[in-house]
Amino acid sequence: MIKRLFFFLVGCALLAPQPGWARDKTGTPLLVVSGNLVQHGKARAPLVFDEATLRALPQHTFTVATPWHPRAQRFEGPLLRDVLAAAGAAGQTLSLRALNDYVITIPLEDAEQYDVILARKRNGKPMTVRDKGPLFVIYPFHQHPELRQAEYYRRCVWQLAEIIVH
Q: How far apart, in whole angstroms, are the C-alpha atoms of residue 44 and residue 34?
A: 8
Whole-number average pLDDT of the chain: 88
| Short-list 57, 58, 51, 59, CA closest to 23 | 51
Q: Kindly list the domain boundaries of the chain, sorted by start residue.
A: 2-165
Measure the N-to-C terminal CA separation of the chain; round to a whole number of Å. 20
For the entire predicted model, the pTM comes to 0.84
pLDDT(16) > 50: no
Q: How far apart, in whole angstroms, are the C-alpha atoms of residue 163 and residue 94?
A: 6
CA distances from 36 to 33, 54, 93, 100, 121 (A): 9, 20, 10, 23, 28
pLDDT (0 to 100) of residue 13 = 44
pLDDT (0 to 100) of residue 9 = 43
- Phi (first) and psi of residue 103, to 5 degrees: -135, 135
CATH topology of domain 2-165: Sulfite Oxidase; Chain A, domain 2 (3.90.420)
Q: How far apart, in whole angstroms, are the C-alpha atoms of residue 27 and residue 93?
A: 28
In one-letter notation, the amino acid at residue 113 is Q
- pLDDT band for position 139 (50/70/90)? very high
